[in-house]
Structure 1
Amino acid sequence: MTKTTFNLTQAGRIIGKSRATVQRALASGKLSYELDENQNRIVRADELIRVYGDQAKFDRAEGRGPATEAPPPEATRSELSPQFLKLQDQLISQYRGEVERLESALKRAQEGQNLITSLIEDQRSSEAKWQATFEAQAETIANRLASQNNEQLKRLETRHEKETAQLKKLVQAERSKSLWRKLFG
Structure 2
Amino acid sequence: MTNTKYTISAANRITGKSRTTITKHIRAGRLSVTQDDQGNKLIDAAELIRVYGDDCNFDREEKSTDQTSAGHSTGNSSLEVQQLKDQLARETTERERERQQYREQIEHLQETLKRAQEGQNSVTRLLENQKQGRGDWEEAIKTIEKRLANQEQATKAELESLKAAANKKLMRYRDALEKERNKSFWQRLWS
What's the TM-score once normalised by structure 1's chain length?
Answer: 0.32
Q: Which has the larger radius of gyration?
A: 2
What's the TM-score once normalised by structure 2's chain length?
Answer: 0.31
Flag the structure with more relative contact order, 1 or 2, with Cα contacts below 8 A and sequence separation at least 6. 1
Q: Which has the higher helix share?
A: 2
